[in-house]
Structure 1
Amino acid sequence: MGYYEVYCQLCGVSFNINRIRTRAEPRHAAWSDTQGPRDEWRFHTGSKYYNCPAEGKEACVAVDRKHSLPVTLGISTVNFTSPQFDTEFLPLSVPYKIDQDYEDYGREVIDKRKLGRDEYEHIAGPSCHQLDGYNGYNISVEEMLDCTTLQCLYAKSETWMPHAGDMYFEKESKYYLSGLSDHSSSGGWKQMFAPILHGKVQGSIDNDNNPWIDSEELQRDSGVAFHPACFELFRIVSQVTLGKVHTDGLVQLRNVCCDGSHSFSDWCEDVYNCREQCWLHLPGSEYLVANPVFIPGFRDICDDAIKVDADFDVQKSAFPERENGRSHAISADPFLQLPSELVQSVVSHLNSGEIATMRLVSRAFEHLPISLWHRLLCFEIPCIYEAWREDVIPYSWASQDVNVLQTLRKEVEEWELERHRKARDLAHDPELEAQFLATEPEIPPWHTELRLKELKENSLKVKKRLEPVALPHDKTNWYQLYSDIVRHWKDLKGLQNRERIWENLYEICGGIKGLDGNEDEELEVHGDNDIHDGRSR
């Protein structure tokens, strides 16, 4: 079948997302979809680099990585080594010369030189045209947090036993959560997980578009993969619309869609444009890979909107008194004749754009309560669940660092292999072998409970800073919050992505409800609002 990429079943985006760093960023800010160290961004001979600007301030450059030292892996939230910055940059003509020779003279001419070609790293300028990775000028490392992290649902075996660390919804489900993995292998084969949950070391993963998993046995062995952040949104939408975290329905919907008789979800146009055999990192599509839960900048906006002043009241006007300089024909304003209760009733049927217009034409709408914008926020941007949900703490796996977990797993595996090798060397003397196995620890001695706790806590500092916060109704300036979100919308890529995924999740939950035989019922949504696109941004 050849190479193909598995994508998140909840958002439609590949797990093999790459990033090209800028000159000002450390080496670990660039990564590719290799199964090896993710800092190794490599050229490929004959690749499509020629449109990149090579001169001036907008130029892309190259870095010689031949003598590089070990660097931090991928987009981890914890640095295992100090960040490395490059200061010597080469013109693109150096690595491109090998590309040009390849096109002019053929592969045999450059066979002796092509290995050296792999030592150069492409560094993005502001106008980089490379489509094999997102330009660091257009999206930050922090915004892309966990874009290559995946978790899966697998069918429980007959001997499956619950563990203390299982999520509450796993108990009654036919499926359980795996550990975390990083990037997807070609075709989703032999995906390695950490930690090992319920004995699941590795497994295969497939999407709804794979017609080859057409038997119950194949479907049981095939995992449904998703970003942990996307699953957190599914957890919320599923509880609201279906009354529970319907993992059984999610897997069942994937399975029935494999034969082409059902549609899983209609992804947005940007997803379809980028999702080729290898993901195309098209300019303008950066928001697709932004974390929709841990959103840089959004937590600050929420914190600023929470008021602790004793005299703060959401029923007070959101606006200061106007100056009396503006002439206004009071007698010509019919709304001024209405009692305030009726004015408020009128406002309750208007969207934000209509309210802004009414405030321009009538003084009856001059002072409106702050609480009004809570209604507008829930109606126009319902994916901001911080405004209406009491518990906004993400489920535990969304807050983990896949690089830490995978590193710990590999350290244990390497220790076990070395321990067994040493034991085999002593096999000629059973007494010595038994003594060695009795005294040599089964896990690395540095994997102490205290060290592991400190390592995991340090890895979660960034996510803790970006973690969603519940907004108390009576202590939030909803007008300020709404205004700040609208004002900074273009900068909040994660929130843009959340809104996109949110709509897909309602469609997915509708499909799950249809499998239960309730396709004619409308999905329950928060309050009396439906998903729509009525924002005035």
Structure 2
Amino acid sequence: MGYSEVTCQICGVSFNVSRWPTAEEVVAGLRQRPWLDGATHDYGHKWDCVYGQCQVIDTREAELDFSDDGRQDDDGHVDWGSDRLHKGDDGFYQPETDSVEEEYEYDTPNESEEETSVGASETTTDSMDGADPAPVGDSLYQAFIDSLPAQEPGSRYFWAKHMRLINEEDASSADDRRWMDYQHVSGRGCRNTGAYNGHLLSAEEARGCSTLQCLVPKSRTEPFLEEKLDEPFEKTGGFFLTGLSDKVPCADDQWPATYPPRHNTDRPKAANFLLDSRLVSEYAIPFHPTCLEVFKRACLHRYGEVNIQALMDWYSFDASCDVMLSEFPRHEAVREGRRQYWEHWRGDEFLAADPCFIPSLKTYLDKAMARGSTITSPYEAAVPTGGCIITSVGNDCFSRLPFEIRVELLVRLEPGDIANLRLASKTYRTLPQYLFRKLLQQNYPWVYEAWCTLPYSFWATKEGWDIRKIDEDWEDEREFLETRIQILKQEVLPDSSNEDAIASIEECLKRKEVEYENNFQSRPATHLPVSKTDWYRLFCDITQNRQRINGLRNRERIWKDCNEILDRVEGYRAAGRLEPEMTDTKRREETRATHDVRTPFHEIPGVTGPGHAFPNIGIPLSM
């Protein structure tokens, strides 16, 4: 068995995409994010790293550093490249437990050992206060080193002081094995394909790029017991959602570990390809939680309701190697990156950007609402006349048309054609805000903040480590408060029963529990008010910057994939291969079992397809 990566069934991107940190992030001691785990230095691009002003942290030297507090990390900060923390079976870092500390025969070490220990400590401190290597030309790094307290350098200093520029001697070395011991730090010109350049994709944009969730078929023999976090479609449909996983192992190795366990499932059988129809009820559909949110809104735009069943039905028919790897029309950047190991090509960073929570897009939305605060009506003029004085328009043929028809004509034109029409007809010199709202919805439906009020599921707002930390913190806090209550009940004084103190703590416990529950509430999405938004400026901002905003560019790509999925499901239903509604696993199995050979989508009788040309490929269901 070889190495193969699990990819998102909706968008086609691997869950093992990574992002290199920047020098500023290492110096600032930012927490290591899940998408950095497993990223290794791609020494095939060593010369590109030299020219790109990249840096590395030699993890071997760092492990040998015994400076005071050098190995101490603040809470929640995982050692960068450290072997002192290992990955547990659940895919999360856990402290080593099998190490044996040296014990003295007596309570204190003998005199000679104590002197040696003290001397070693002084030497280490001197070396820390003295000449620590700093990357050449990195003024930010040097300024940070100079500002550190001499007594307590801390974990940020520990890793930053082992960071150095990659030089030509490193790149010309014949010993490539040692590059695997380096933690890469991207420079602005970095072209290393082991992960995306941190200067071109921010940490906030990359949130959730390695987070997996699955749809799992419900058991046909055991009753389905509802849980507190179930969404409506889980209660009525044939599938349920798993927890989240930030570390997805090789598809040939083991199933991903998800947290929290849901419906007695913590290791779903996440599979991109189905080779045997008899096993369809055993496998789970893997996807990014944010991609599922885009799919929900694509369904709303088309049907007026969320139709998760369409995703399930498409998976049952098209989850084959040929369809998923060749026939399905993925974005060219996805095809270029999809290798045995994901290739992180410079310029394709948008593939790892969060399509739901987009910092740059939020800035434009906030500006549009701020500028629209003075607008009184959506029919108010959005585009000024430019100083032209409009007098008689009696000879203008468009002036004889009602306002609604004139607007409807504009909606069917491209932006360039609208500009030409404004030059040719005085009737169109002033354009209403209403027009640009319709143009935005028609040309950029994936900017669903303009028409959709559906809140985001809390799953899309979290990563796996987020939920685990929320649960652990709540358990610790609850145990602490409950212990205080028990102590107060046991230590009752003769003149007091501690009732007031106990009541106060119980009230605090209830308040903390409400705060904990609020972490699992859906998050309201931004919705632009119709009459208080400058639709003209927003339309212009989106038109000019849609290819520059990583998250919006990724959302547009995923939106097209979602609509391709819905096109295919409608085609299968039109051809009679799918019933109008399929709500249980058994009926889905029976439908699929009647078709022993997969017919290419464009060759199904009665199906015209969505306008794509597909290769003439058909494969059997079993091999």
TM range (shorter): 0.7 to 0.9
Pairwise CA distance, 1:474 = 1.9
Q: Which residue of 2 aligns with 1:5?
A: 5
Query: Could you tell me which of 39, 47, 58 is aligned with 1:64?
Result: 58
User: AA paired with 2:318?
Assistant: C
Give me the whole-angstrom Cα distance separating, in 2, the residues matched to 1:150 and 1:94.
Answer: 39
Kindly tell me: are residues 121 and 411 of structure 1, through their superposed partners in 2, closer, same or farther at Cα, counting changes over 3 Å?
A: same
Work out whether 1:49 is the aligned partner of 2:59: no
Work out whether 1:165 is the aligned partner of 2:224: no
Q: Which residue of 2 aligns with 1:180?
A: 244
Pairwise CA distance, 1:256 = 2.4
Give me the whole-angstrom Cα distance separating, in 2, the residues matched to 1:204 and 1:94.
Answer: 46
Give me the whole-angstrom Cα distance separating, in 1, the residues matched to 2:198 and 2:517.
Answer: 27
Q: Which residue of 2 aligns with 1:156?
A: 218
User: AA paired with 2:249?
Assistant: S
Counting only pairs closer than 5 Å after superposition, residues 134-145 of structure 1 correspond to structure 2 as: 134-145=196-207
Q: Which residue of 1 aligns with 2:458?
A: 396
Q: Which residue of 2 aligns with 1:512?
A: 569
Pairwise CA distance, 1:185 = 0.9
Kindly tell me: are residues 520 and 479 of structure 1, through their superposed partners in 2, closer, same or farther at Cα, counting changes over 3 Å?
A: farther
Residue pair 1:132, 1:281 contacting (<8 A) in 2 also: yes
Work out whether 1:231 is the aligned partner of 2:225: no
Residue pair 2:396, 2:426 contacting (<8 A) in 1 also: no
Counting only pairs closer than 5 Å after superposition, residues 357-506 of structure 1 correspond to structure 2 as: 357-389=420-452, 391-407=453-469, 468-506=525-563
Counting only pairs closer than 5 Å after superposition, residues 277-316 of structure 1 correspond to structure 2 as: 277-306=340-369, 309=373, 312-316=376-380
Query: Could you tell me which of 268, 271, 276 is aligned with 1:203?
Result: 268
Listed one character per residue, the Cα deviations across residues 403-424 of structure 1 (whole Å, up to 9, x for unaligned) are: 122446789999xxxxxxxxxx
Listed one character per residue, the Cα deviations across residues 368-414 of structure 1 (whole Å, up to 9, x for unaligned) are: 1111001101110111122122x231123112332122446789999
User: AA paired with 1:228?
Assistant: P
Give me the whole-angstrom Cα distance separating, in 1, the residues matched to 2:276 and 2:209.
Answer: 29
Q: Which residue of 1 aligns with 2:182?
A: 120
Q: Which residue of 1 aligns with 2:175?
A: 102
Gaps of 5+ in 1: 76-81, 108-113, 415-447, 524-530, 533-537
Pairwise CA distance, 1:280 = 0.5
Pairwise CA distance, 1:29 = 6.7
Q: Which residue of 1 aligns with 2:195?
A: 133
Q: Which residue of 2 aligns with 1:268?
A: 331
Counting only pairs closer than 5 Å after superposition, residues 519-534 of structure 1 correspond to structure 2 as: none
TM-score (norm 1): 0.74
TM-score (norm 2): 0.64
User: AA paired with 1:51?
Assistant: W
Listed one character per residue, the Cα deviations across residues 77-124 of structure 1 (whole Å, up to 9, x for unaligned) are: xxxxx9947266323249937x82336xxx7xxxxxx4xx55432211
CA RMSD across the alignment: 3.9
Comparing 487-496 with 304-313, greater Cα deviation is found at: 304-313
Give me the whole-angstrom Cα distance separating, in 2, the residues matched to 1:411 and 1:302.
Answer: 35
Listed one character per residue, the Cα deviations across residues 289-340 of structure 1 (whole Å, up to 9, x for unaligned) are: 1111111121222222225746522211112342259xx9989974576456
Aligned residues: 454
Secondary structure of the residue aligned to 1:176 is strand
Kindly tell me: are residues 261 and 279 of structure 1, through their superposed partners in 2, closer, same or farther at Cα, counting changes over 3 Å?
A: closer
Pairwise CA distance, 1:348 = 3.8
Work out whether 1:193 is the aligned partner of 2:267: no
Give me the whole-angstrom Cα distance separating, in 1, the residues matched to 2:256 and 2:513.
Answer: 24
Kindly tell me: are residues 360 and 154 of structure 1, through their superposed partners in 2, closer, same or farther at Cα, counting changes over 3 Å?
A: same
Listed one character per residue, the Cα deviations across residues 257-294 of structure 1 (whole Å, up to 9, x for unaligned) are: 24568667321111001010111101111111111111
Residue pair 2:407, 2:435 contacting (<8 A) in 1 also: no
Q: Which residue of 2 aligns with 1:354?
A: 417
Residue pair 2:470, 2:516 contacting (<8 A) in 1 also: no
Q: Which has the higher helix share?
A: 2
Query: Could you tell me which of 281, 290, 312 is aligned with 1:220?
Result: 281
Kindly tell me: are residues 83 and 388 of structure 1, through their superposed partners in 2, closer, same or farther at Cα, counting changes over 3 Å?
A: farther
Residue pair 2:215, 2:242 contacting (<8 A) in 1 also: yes
The sequence identity of aligned pairs, in percent, is 27
Secondary structure of the residue aligned to 1:354 is helix
Secondary structure of the residue aligned to 2:174 is helix
Give me the whole-angstrom Cα distance separating, in 1, the residues matched to 2:155 and 2:433.
Answer: 45
Give me the whole-angstrom Cα distance separating, in 2, the residues matched to 1:413 and 1:337.
Answer: 70
Q: Which has the larger radius of gyration?
A: 2
Listed one character per residue, the Cα deviations across residues 448-484 of structure 1 (whole Å, up to 9, x for unaligned) are: 8766765787899xx97xx631112122221121112
Give me the whole-angstrom Cα distance separating, in 1, the residues matched to 2:419 and 2:463.
Answer: 44
Residue pair 1:20, 1:29 contacting (<8 A) in 2 also: no
Pairwise CA distance, 1:254 = 1.9
Give me the whole-angstrom Cα distance separating, in 2, the residues matched to 1:201 and 1:347.
Answer: 53
User: AA paired with 2:227?
Assistant: H
